Chain A
Amino acid sequence: MSGLPLLSLAIWLPIVGGLLVLATGSDRNAGLARPLALVVAVAGFLVTLPLYIGFDPTTSDMQFTELRQWIPRFNIHYSLGVDGISVLFILLNSFITPLVVLAGWKVIGEKVAQYMAAFLIMSGLMNGIFSALDAMLFYVFFEASLIPMYIIIGAWGGPNRVYAAFKFFLYTLLGSLLMLVALIWLFFQSGFSFSLLDWHAMKIPLSAQIWLFLAFLVAFAVKVPMWPVHTWLPDAHVEAPTGGSVVLAAIMLKLGAYGFLRFSLPIAPDASRELAWLMIALSLIAVVYIGFVALVQSDMKKLIAYSSISHMGFVTLGFFIFNQLGVEGALVQMISHGFVSGAMFLCVGVLYDRVHSRQIADYGGVVHTMPKFAAFMVLFAMANSGLPATSGFVGEFMVILGAVKHDFWIGFAAAITLILGAAYTLWMVKRVLFGAVANHHVAELADINAREFVILGILALCVLGMGLYPLPFTEVMHASVDHLLKHVAVPKL
């Protein structure tokens, strides 16, 4: 292991870089802000690579740990570390950031420096969430990441952006505030410790575990989002600028799911088993019901937003069937969804930049004018509906296998998503891309330029690569997931 504090770099490099970008000031210097932001974003990605290369997949221990006192008054530590569960998300997050910077290159013409800085700072904060091993450190990153997203949606969003930004902020704050009370309670129960690993080992009576589980559930369910607290997501997605939607779908939704793995399951394992029926029920509702809701959407972004909720239902389902296939499948699904949903939102962004409409009805026959783009979009749509050889298939298949192992009918219900997912995604693709050229807007469309080609091309490689050879992803998480499941199986009343 190298001596560099890699995790600190992954967190603070984008944040400090973001402040530098901010310092370039007004739009007169946008020519400087853009490349600087790209450099910071790429550098931010590069510093996370050693995390993967140097990662030891044979152990479930925390790696690359850093420990420093932060606020001794409350025994809060600046404690970082990653295991097989979190390391991939740091990479995913740092990987998406340069793409988002590129995606906003031309489209964002106003307050460029602030836009780029907001994304960079958010990227750093989210790396902090994934690597924090101190509950308060996790919490402050978790809440602080709301600020840049609030600004991104509100300042660069669509016509109804103010409503969406408020809804996003208040909804997520509601969840996290209740979690804060739970964290403070745990602090006193554990004898004044905020260390997550201490909490994992701590014995808690069942009734208290259930309260804790519910408090965490509110926080993370809003973030995932699970039915019925999902309603902020379609609004936020529709109004956010393309980059905002990408980060929201690719990374932010994962924070909630990650929270389940880091907090709910290991801290309250007995309550998790006790309430698994609830979680499975909510997940299946998300998978099936939201799938139907997606089917009737007329707005492309809304459709993908609902598709995200449905896919995230798969993730929570995978967690609460408590077997290796389920949890690993869910993690793979999270990574894959990061690529696929990000790519889908970018595709919609490409169309929106040209036509300024997200309505499916305003398109038709795009393939005739944008063949390269259409090829990409079809690929991502296939991945979104879980076609074999794409990344979308691997996770879904693993979760369904795990679910069948757990209970055939749960697996059966979950498998419905394969039909629904294909139905809503492909139907949208059919209406947007194929058929006769619908109107003069479509007829005048120019195909994607080199910049867009690079962004979509990189994502396409990821989607295909992960679909064909998922081993590099799954082998990293093996030991940690195994450890987690063993931990959850042992009562700690």
Chain B
Amino acid sequence: MINFVMPDLYPASAEIFILVMACVLLLVDLFAGKGRRWLAYLMAQLTLAGCFGITFVTMDGQGVTTFSNMFVDDLFADFLKLALYPAVAIMLVYSRAYLAARNLDRGEFYLLVLFATLGMMVMISASHFVTVYLGLELLALSMYALVAIDRDSVRATEAAMKYFVLGSMASGLLLYGMSMVYGAIGSLEIAEMGQRIALGGGNKTVLVFGLIFVVAGLAFKLGVVPFHMWVPDVYHGAPTAVTLLLGSAPKLAAFAITLRVLVTGLAELAEHWQVMLMILAALSIALGNLAAIAQRNLKRMLAYSAISHMGFMLLGVLSGIVGGDPRFTLNAYSSAMFYAIAYVLMSLGAFGMILLLSRAGFEAEEIDDFRGLNRRSPWFAAIMMILMFSMAGVPFFVGFFAKFAVLQAVVAANQIWLAVFAVLFSLIGAFYYLRVVKVMYFDAPTDTAPLEAPRDMRILLSVNGLAVAFLGLLPEGVLKYAIYATYTFLLGS
């Protein structure tokens, strides 16, 4: 007779809630007519709000695992999820008018967004290779469909195809690497894996061989060089609303699994994966910043900028363990986490600005579409200026402190030349952000149509931009939040 124990569902209540709500949304959407499209939007927003509430209420200091140690609910996960829901909710607000104007605001859009969110939540809470993979695939499959949601757009279809083919390959790489690690160590559970390797278990050669594939798979999901090929095309091809989703919240989830897999599971192999990450980071910072200069399309430019930002974030991840000494981990990983959160905030705003300027039949995705924005709308020109300077890492904006946090972690790890390399390339990066400011402030407008965006979006986008400025003046709160989260994460590892 099989002895079946009901798993503790409490730690996963937010996940269960969002899953149930997604199914309800599917049903409701079936019966709601064309005129009630707002219903799906509202339900999606309420679901996210509900998730926020559940995660907030069930949050406690201890890490709890459930589902036979496949799922972990610790402060690290809770904090990242609490950043994740607002990011998705903001994305929904920004996208609404854009989707409506293109007849894309169907129920399945919201359904897919909720499933993607569930995938990210599972990734964040994954404590087992199978859970990592499940979350990743749920996110990826939803994203493939979302990229292609505008069925008549050749560009979007092509982007989805490219994303799908390369994404599947990356999943394959990751699975292959995981199977290698499993072969060497005999466990898929991340924490146990870490303990067994620490006790000298497993064949190092096989482990490192597996590690290479795991890192390659993660690098693809993060979109860092040389696994970045999909990023510009997919960012460019996807409807901007989907690009907004793609470019923001999943970075948090990818950051989470990177830490969980590499630090909790494979910390003993740090000397190996740190070198790999260093190569990935350096290449990303260099190529991302150089290639962004040549772009005329803002979405492509932001895609390359995303590559370089992810490279920068990896700098924080690789500075944690110095010669086997784990004293710097808290400093380094919390800096990387701060960077990820700051980046998501800036990225939401920047893509939000594209959505703001877009209208029915017109995509404001070329840099030239921002020409003379200062004359059309000084307020939103200022918001965009804040976002661009923040991305370039100029104070007093949050992007500066994000860069600063990571750089100090790199210097603490005694990698001064790496820090010099990174700042020199962020100088090159400053050039293309400045160009956006230039077209807004120094050029005369070519498009004089008034902005049409609805009020809720305008307000939220303003708040988003001001938050970037405010967190640049007083970053302590979020920095502390990252410290707490990382601290509990490290306690659990």
Tell me the complex Cα distance, A150–B389, Å. Answer: 12
B427 touches A181 (CB 8 A): no
Known A140-B396, A178-B423, A181-B419; contact A170-B441, beta-carbon cutoff 8 A = no
Q: Which of A80-120 contact B (CB under 8 A)?
A: 111, 114
Q: Is B8 an interface residue (CB 8 A)?
A: no
Q: Which of A152-206 contact B (CB under 8 A)?
A: 154-155, 161-162, 165-166, 169-170, 173-174, 177-178, 180-181, 184-185, 187-188
Q: Is A71 an interface residue (CB 8 A)?
A: yes
Q: Is A74 an interface residue (CB 8 A)?
A: yes
Tell me the complex Cα distance, A25–B377, Å. Answer: 11
B389 touches A180 (CB 8 A): no
Q: Which of B442-471 contact A (CB under 8 A)?
A: 442
Question: Contacts of A165 on B, CB cut-off 8 Å?
Answer: 438, 442
Tell me the complex Cα distance, A114–B374, Å. Answer: 10
A173 touches B427 (CB 8 A): yes
Question: Contacts of B378 on A, CB cut-off 8 Å?
Answer: 25-26, 114
Q: Which of A52-88 contact B (CB under 8 A)?
A: 70-74
A177 touches B423 (CB 8 A): yes
Question: Contacts of A177 on B, CB cut-off 8 Å?
Answer: 423-424, 426-427
Q: How many residues of B contact A (CB 8 A)?
A: 33
Q: Is B63 an interface residue (CB 8 A)?
A: no
Tell me the complex Cα distance, A166–B428, Å. Answer: 12
Q: Is A147 an interface residue (CB 8 A)?
A: yes
Which of B396, B430, B479 sits near A170, CB closer than 8 Å? B430
Tell me the complex Cα distance, A74–B401, Å. Answer: 10
A71 touches B395 (CB 8 A): no
B431 touches A154 (CB 8 A): no
Q: Is B17 an interface residue (CB 8 A)?
A: no
Tell me the complex Cα distance, A177–B431, Å. Answer: 14
Q: Which DSSP category, helix, strand, loop or mixed, fits chain B's interface? A: helix
Tell me the complex Cα distance, A26–B419, Å. Answer: 43
B423 touches A154 (CB 8 A): no
Which of B423, B442, B480 sits near A161, CB closer than 8 Å? B442
Tell me the complex Cα distance, A162–B479, Å. Answer: 37
Known A114-B378, A150-B434; contact A174-B427, beta-carbon cutoff 8 A = yes
Which residue from chain B places its CB closest to the CB of A73 in the assembled complex?
Answer: B479
Tell me the complex Cα distance, A259–B404, Å. Answer: 20
Which residue from chain A places its CB closest to the CB of B478 in the assembled complex?
Answer: A73
Q: Which of B386-438 contact A (CB under 8 A)?
A: 389, 394-396, 400-401, 404-405, 407-408, 411-412, 416, 419-420, 423-424, 426-427, 430-431, 434, 437-438
Which of A71, A147, A181, A184 sits near B394, CB closer than 8 Å? A147
Known A114-B378, A143-B395; contact A188-B430, beta-carbon cutoff 8 A = no
Which residue from chain B places its CB closest to the CB of A125 in the assembled complex?
Answer: B396
Which of A71, A150, A181 sits near B423, CB closer than 8 Å? A181
Question: Contacts of B400 on A, CB cut-off 8 Å?
Answer: 140, 143
Question: Contacts of A321 on B, CB cut-off 8 Å?
Answer: none
Which of B395, B411, B424 sits near A188, CB closer than 8 Å? B411
Question: Contacts of B271 on A, CB cut-off 8 Å?
Answer: none
Nearest-Cβ distance from residue B403 to partner chain A, whole angstroms = 9
B395 touches A140 (CB 8 A): yes
**Interface mask (A216-249 → B, CB under 8 Å = 1, otherwise 0):** 0000000000000000000000000000000000
Q: Is A144 an interface residue (CB 8 A)?
A: yes
Question: Contacts of A188 on B, CB cut-off 8 Å?
Answer: 408, 411-412
B395 touches A139 (CB 8 A): yes
**Which of the four size classes fits the interface of chain A?**
35 or more
Tell me the complex Cα distance, A151–B400, Å. Answer: 19
Nearest-Cβ distance from residue B393 to partner chain A, whole angstroms = 9
Q: Is A146 an interface residue (CB 8 A)?
A: yes
B431 touches A166 (CB 8 A): yes
Question: Contacts of A154 on B, CB cut-off 8 Å?
Answer: 438, 441-442
Question: Contacts of B434 on A, CB cut-off 8 Å?
Answer: 150, 166, 169-170
Which of B412, B416, B431 sits near A181, CB closer than 8 Å? B416
Question: Contacts of A141 on B, CB cut-off 8 Å?
Answer: 395
Q: Is B267 an interface residue (CB 8 A)?
A: no
Nearest-Cβ distance from residue B382 to partner chain A, whole angstroms = 8
A162 touches B438 (CB 8 A): yes
B395 touches A180 (CB 8 A): no
Q: Which of B320-346 contact A (CB under 8 A)?
A: none
Question: Contacts of B430 on A, CB cut-off 8 Å?
Answer: 169-170, 173
Tell me the complex Cα distance, A185–B412, Å. Answer: 8
Nearest-Cβ distance from residue A250 to partner chain B, whole angstroms = 23
Tell me the complex Cα distance, A185–B437, Å. Answer: 32
Question: Contacts of A180 on B, CB cut-off 8 Å?
Answer: 404, 407, 423
Q: Is B483 an interface residue (CB 8 A)?
A: yes
B404 touches A146 (CB 8 A): no
Tell me the complex Cα distance, A239–B475, Å. Answer: 36
Tell me the complex Cα distance, A143–B395, Å. Answer: 6
Question: Contacts of A173 on B, CB cut-off 8 Å?
Answer: 394, 427, 430
Q: Is B60 an interface residue (CB 8 A)?
A: no
B442 touches A162 (CB 8 A): yes
Question: Contacts of A72 on B, CB cut-off 8 Å?
Answer: 476
Which of B394, B407, B408 sits near A143, CB closer than 8 Å? B394
Nearest-Cβ distance from residue B451 to partner chain A, whole angstroms = 16
Question: Contacts of B423 on A, CB cut-off 8 Å?
Answer: 177-178, 180-181
Question: Contacts of B394 on A, CB cut-off 8 Å?
Answer: 143-144, 146-147, 173
Tell me the complex Cα distance, A25–B405, Å. Answer: 36
Tell me the complex Cα distance, A141–B438, Å. Answer: 22
B442 touches A184 (CB 8 A): no
Known A154-B442, A181-B419; contact A71-B475, beta-carbon cutoff 8 A = yes
B411 touches A185 (CB 8 A): yes
Tell me the complex Cα distance, A187–B411, Å. Answer: 10
Question: Contacts of B412 on A, CB cut-off 8 Å?
Answer: 188
Tell me the complex Cα distance, A71–B483, Å. Answer: 13
Question: Contacts of A184 on B, CB cut-off 8 Å?
Answer: 404, 407-408, 411, 419
Question: Contacts of B374 on A, CB cut-off 8 Å?
Answer: 111, 114, 155
B419 touches A170 (CB 8 A): no
Tell me the complex Cα distance, A485–B119, Å. Answer: 64
Tell me the complex Cα distance, A173–B430, Å. Answer: 9
Q: Which of B339-381 contact A (CB under 8 A)?
A: 374, 378
Question: Contacts of B396 on A, CB cut-off 8 Å?
Answer: 140, 144
Question: Contacts of A187 on B, CB cut-off 8 Å?
Answer: 408, 411
Tell me the complex Cα distance, A143–B401, Å. Answer: 13
Known A144-B396, A154-B441, A161-B442; contact A181-B475, beta-carbon cutoff 8 A = no
A71 touches B476 (CB 8 A): yes
Tell me the complex Cα distance, A187–B426, Å. Answer: 21
Known A140-B395, A162-B438; contact A74-B408, beta-carbon cutoff 8 A = yes
Question: Contacts of A162 on B, CB cut-off 8 Å?
Answer: 438, 442
Known A114-B378, A165-B442, A169-B434; contact A181-B389, beta-carbon cutoff 8 A = no
Question: Contacts of A139 on B, CB cut-off 8 Å?
Answer: 395
Question: Contacts of A161 on B, CB cut-off 8 Å?
Answer: 442
Question: Contacts of B480 on A, CB cut-off 8 Å?
Answer: 73
Tell me the complex Cα distance, A111–B382, Å. Answer: 13
Tell me the complex Cα distance, A182–B60, Å. Answer: 40
Nearest-Cβ distance from residue B440 to partner chain A, whole angstroms = 10
A73 touches B483 (CB 8 A): yes
**A and B contact pairs by CB, cutoff 8 A, 21 listed:** A26-B378, A70-B476, A73-B475, A73-B479, A74-B404, A111-B374, A139-B395, A144-B394, A144-B395, A144-B396, A151-B437, A154-B438, A155-B374, A155-B442, A162-B442, A170-B430, A170-B434, A180-B407, A184-B404, A185-B411, A188-B408
Complex A-B, nearest 7 residue pairs according to Cβ-Cβ distance, in ascending order: A140-B395, A177-B423, A73-B479, A154-B442, A184-B411, A184-B408, A144-B395
Interface residues of B (CB under 8 A from A): 374, 378, 389, 394-396, 400-401, 404-405, 407-408, 411-412, 416, 419-420, 423-424, 426-427, 430-431, 434, 437-438, 441-442, 475-476, 479-480, 483
Given contacts A73-B483, A140-B396, A166-B438, 16 further A-B contacts (CB under 8 A): A26-B378, A71-B476, A73-B476, A114-B378, A140-B400, A141-B395, A144-B396, A154-B442, A166-B431, A177-B427, A178-B423, A180-B404, A181-B419, A184-B407, A187-B411, A188-B412
